[in-house]
C-alpha cells in the first residue's frame, strides 16, 4: 500500500443505506458528492461517499465479474467514481463475505481477489464488507483475512470496513486481519433507545480500537428525523410494530458527541441534500470533530455520577496535546447533576493545578476550575468540554 496513513484516524463520510436503502442510482450519488462541497461537509473533514447494498445486477457476467445495475448506474461505476474524485472526495462501495449480500445480490465469497481487482479498476477507495449468507463451515475470521489480503494486493489503497455486527468475538481478532474499522454492534435505528443501547454496549471495549483499526458503532442517524424508506431504521425501538422513528436535535447532538468521543467512524446517514441548519451545525462542529480525529485515537474511560450511576456519566479522553476531552451525558428522563471529581482523572488538589474548561457546543470558555466541575444536564442531553491543565496558584 502506498499510503501508510490510510485508516490512521476514524474515517468520515456518508453512506446511502440508512435513508435510501435500495433506492439508489448514479444521480443520487453525484448529488451527494455535490452536497459535500456545497454544505461544508468536505471542509469539515468528510471525504468518503459510499454506496451500500443493491447496486449490482442479480448475476455476475460470463467472466464471473460483478456488474453494476444497468438501470441505476447506466454509465458504470468508474464514471461515478470519477465524478466523486473530481470533487476532491473519495468513493466507497459495498460487498459481503457471504455468497450473497443482505439484500440478495452477489456476494464476494470465493470471488475475493477478482472483486478486489474490479473495485480497484473502478477507482474504489473504501469497501464496506457485510456478513450475510456466510457459509456456516467457514469462520468469519478467515473470510475477513481473505478479503484483506485481496485488497492489500489489488494495486490501490482501499479502506477496509469489516461489518460483522460484533459477532464471533470480532474485537479479539479483527486488528490482525487487516481491517481498518470493524462493526461492533447490530444495526442502528433512528430513535433514542437505539443510540443509547449501542453506546452502552461498547463501554469497556475501549482497548480494542485504535489507530488503523477503529471500533465502528454503526452509521450516524443525525438529521434523519424518521426520513428513511426502511421500516427497521424507522422502528420505534420499544418492541412495538415498526412506526416512524426520529430523534430531537438534542438527542442527535448527544449521539454525535458519543460517537466522536468513542472514536467511532463518522459516517453520515441522512439525506445530506436536505439537511436542516441544526443538522449541518451538529455534523460540522469542528470542536467535536477534532476530538474524534485526534491523532492518537485513545479510548475514553467512563466515570459515573455517584448518585445516578445508571444514567449519568462522563467519558474522558486524553488528547495528544495533553488536554482532555470530557463528555458529560444524561441518559435518563429527568434533569440530573454530573459532578466530575478531578482526582478521579488523576489530578490531586494538592498539586495546585486545575482545568481551564472550554464548551465545545457553545464554543466559549467557561473559566478555571479546581478539584471538581459540576453541572446539571437535561434529559438525553450532553456537555462536551475541552479541559487544559493550568496552575491555579
Give catalytic residue positions. Answer: 130, 187
Mode of pairing for the β-strands spanning 181-183 and 214-216: parallel
SS (H, E, C) the chain: CCCCCCCCCCCEEEECHHHHCCCCCHHHHHHHHHHHHHCCHHHHCCCEEECCCCCECCCCCCCCCCCECCCCCCCHHHHHHHHHHHCCCEEEEEEECCCECCCCCECCCCCHHHHHHHHHHHCCCEEEEECCCCCCCCCHHHHHHHHHHHHHCCCCCCEEEECCCCCCCHHHHHHHHCCCEEECCCCCCCCHHHHHHHHHHCCCCHHHCECCEEEECCCCCCCCCCCCCCCCCCCCCCCCCCCCCCCCHHHHHHHHHHHHHCCCCEEECCCHHHCCHHHHHHHCCHHHHHHHCCCCCCCCEEEECCCCCCCEEEEEEECCCCCEEEEEEECCCCCEEEEEEHHHHCCCHHHCEEEEEEECCCCEEEEEECCEEEEEECCCCEEEEEEEEEECC
Amino acid at each position: 500500500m502506498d499510503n501508510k496513513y490510510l485508516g490512521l484516524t476514524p474515517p468520515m463520510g456518508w453512506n446511502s443505506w440508512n435513508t435510501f436503502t435500495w433506492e439508489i442510482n448514479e444521480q443520487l450519488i453525484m448529488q451527494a458528492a455535490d452536497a459535500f462541497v456545497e454544505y461544508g461537509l468536505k471542509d469539515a473533514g468528510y471525504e468518503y461517499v459510499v454506496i451500500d447494498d443493491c447496486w449490482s445486477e442479480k448475476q455476475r457476467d460470463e467472466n464471473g465479474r460483478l456488474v453494476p445495475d444497468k438501470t441505476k448506474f447506466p454509465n458504470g461505476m468508474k464514471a461515478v467514481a470519477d465524478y466523486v474524485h473530481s470533487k476532491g472526495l473519495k468513493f466507497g462501495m459495498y460487498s459481503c463475505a457471504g455468497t450473497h449480500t443482505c439484500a440478495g445480490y452477489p456476494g464476494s465469497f470465493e470471488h475475493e481477489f477478482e472483486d478486489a481487482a474490479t473495485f480497484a479498476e473502478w477507482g474504489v477507495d473504501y469497501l464496506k464488507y457485510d456478513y450475510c449468507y456466510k457459509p456456516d463451515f467457514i469462520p468469519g475470521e478467515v473470510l475477513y483475512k481473505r478479503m484483506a489480503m485481496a485488497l492489500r494486493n489489488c494495486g490501490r489503497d482501499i479502506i477496509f470496513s469489516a461489518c460483522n455486527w460484533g459477532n464471533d468475538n470480532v474485537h479479539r481478532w479483527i486488528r490482525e486481519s487487516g481491517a481498518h474499522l470493524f462493526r461492533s454492534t447490530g444495526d442502528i435505528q433512528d430513535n433514542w433507545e437505539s443510540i443509547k443501547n449501542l453506546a452502552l454496549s461498547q463501554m469497556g471495549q475501549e482497548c480494542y480500537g485504535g489507530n488503523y483499526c477503529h471500533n465502528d458503532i454503526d452509521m450516524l442517524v443525525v438529521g434523519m428525523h424518521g426520513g428513511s424508506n426502511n421500516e427497521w431504521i424507522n422502528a420505534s425501538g420499544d418492541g412495538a410494530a415498526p412506526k416512524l422513528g426520529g430523534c430531537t436535535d438534542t438527542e442527535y447532538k448527544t449521539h454525535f458527541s458519543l460517537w466522536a468521543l468513542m472514536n467511532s467512524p463518522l459516517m453520515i446517514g441522512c439525506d445530506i441534500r436536505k439537511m436542516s441548519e441544526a443538522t449541518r451545525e451538529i455534523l460540522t462542529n469542528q470542536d467535536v470533530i477534532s476530538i474524534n480525529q485526534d491523532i492518537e485515537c485513545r479510548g475514553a474511560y467512563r466515570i459515573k455520577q455517584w448518585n445516578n450511576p445508571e444514567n449519568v456519566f462522563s467519558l474522558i479522553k486524553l488528547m495528544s496535546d495533553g488536554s482532555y476531552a470530557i463528555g458529560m451525558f444524561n441518559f435518563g428522563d429527568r434533569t440530573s447533576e454530573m459532578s466530575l471529581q478531578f482526582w478521579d482523572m488523576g489530578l490531586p488538589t494538592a498539586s495546585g493545578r486545575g482545568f481551564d474548561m472550554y464548551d465545545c457546543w457553545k464554543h466559549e470558555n467557561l473559566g478555571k476550575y479546581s478539584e471538581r466541575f459540576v453541572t446539571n444536564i437535561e434529559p438525553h442531553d450532553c456537555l462536551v468540554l475541552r479541559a487544559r491543565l493550568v496552575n491555579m496558584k
